[in-house]
Copies of this chain bind each other. A is one copy, B any other.
Amino acid sequence: MDRQLPYYVGVDGGGTKCRAKLYDHQGELLGEGTAGAANAARDLLKSQDSVMRAVLLAVQDANLTTKVLKNLHVAAGLAGANLPTVQAKMQAWQHPYANFNVTSDLIASCYGAHGGEDGALLIVGTGSSAVRLQNNTFNQYGGYGFLLGDQGSGAWLGRQAVAATLKAHDGIVPISALHHAVLTELGVSQPSELVETMINAQPLEFAKLAPLVLKQAESDDAAALQIVKSGAAYLEQLCHCTLQNSGMSIVLVGGLAPAMATWFSAATKALIIPAKEGPEWGAIQLLLQPDW
């Protein structure tokens, strides 16, 4: 029986984790699975591994056997898959499923968030970016990665905090509670130790410092406030560039979106609406169009 029925799996993969949701041919949710980071631009093999694990866990959660893998129609929205060469490499993957289709996590999220209708989406997690769906066309803004963009994201907040700590040590800016908190969190006391600990750190490791930066900003620490306000100002600009006076609403997703949005102006906050469906649903509907 397993072999005859199609199953649909939606995957949502970002810089931190990857989640799969398995549905039957009538659109009923049967199981879910979560695995590690799945940014396809940063580490293609790791992202394939994370997709594989998340799907396998969803299969187990649905009380199905691995025999079902070849009947799965998998649609994934993955961070980094907005880059054409990355998408091509991911699409060429020798997967064990009936078929595998991929788009960016942002596009799948946006399609899900507005239930397939026109609208915009801002994601603020390890990275940051935005997208607008209008007249069947997706336009993306920001999301240029840890080195070149992603302002206001978790990795960016963490890196700014480390850089500010080093500047404070030199006497270029005044030392504040943020700098002590960064050193304590990382278990180091000297700047040379801080540099050695973080000089080759991945975005995810910097993003782990983000809650600390937000907490210090809420406590009115001047250094933390400067970082958080600057990041929030960028994210707000990104929202407005994405919306382009279209009159559309914007959905915010990602672990840091709620905290960063508290720093937005009332006018920007008024444009935010909750998501209708999740990115896994969005990936399946956009890439596979099942007749649920």
B144 contacts A159, CB within 8 Å?
no
**Interface residue stretch chosen among A50-58, A92-100, A233-241:** A233-241
Which of A144, A191, A198 has most chain B Cβ within 10 Å?
A: A144
B195 contacts A234, CB within 8 Å?
no
The A interface is mostly helix, strand or loop, or mixed, namely: helix
B191 contacts A163, CB within 8 Å?
no
What is the 8 Å Cβ interface bit string for chain A, positions 122-159, against chain B (1 contact, 0 not)?
Answer: 00000000000000000001101101110000000001
B162 contacts A199, CB within 8 Å?
no
The answer to whether residues A148 and B170 also contact, given A192-B83, A192-B84 and a CB cut-off of 8 A, is: no
Task: State A166–B241 Cα separation when bound (angstroms).
Answer: 13
Which of A85, A159, A171 has most chain B Cβ within 10 Å?
A: A171
With beta carbons under 8 angstroms apart, the residue of B144, B148, B163, B238 that contacts A148 is: B163
A41 contacts B144, CB within 8 Å?
no
A41 contacts B83, CB within 8 Å?
no
The answer to whether residues A170 and B83 also contact, given A144-B191, A159-B148, A163-B148 and a CB cut-off of 8 A, is: no
What is the 8 Å Cβ interface bit string for chain A, positions 191-211, against chain B (1 contact, 0 not)?
Answer: 110011011010000000000
A148 contacts B172, CB within 8 Å?
no
A172 contacts B83, CB within 8 Å?
no
Which residue of the partner chain B has the closest CB to A80?
B199
A148 contacts B241, CB within 8 Å?
no
Task: State A159–B196 Cα separation when bound (angstroms).
Answer: 22
With beta carbons under 8 angstroms apart, the residue of B41, B144, B147, B196 that contacts A85 is: B196
CB contacts under 8 Å to B, within A154-180, are 159, 162-163, 166-167, 170-172
Which residues of A does B touch, CB under 8 Å?
A: 41, 82-85, 141-142, 144-145, 147-149, 159, 162-163, 166-167, 170-172, 191-192, 195-196, 198-199, 201, 234, 237-238, 241
Give me 11 A-to-B residue pairs in the complex whose CB atoms sit less than 8 angstroms apart, sorted by A's number: A41-B199, A83-B196, A84-B192, A141-B171, A144-B166, A145-B195, A147-B198, A148-B159, A148-B162, A170-B238, A172-B238
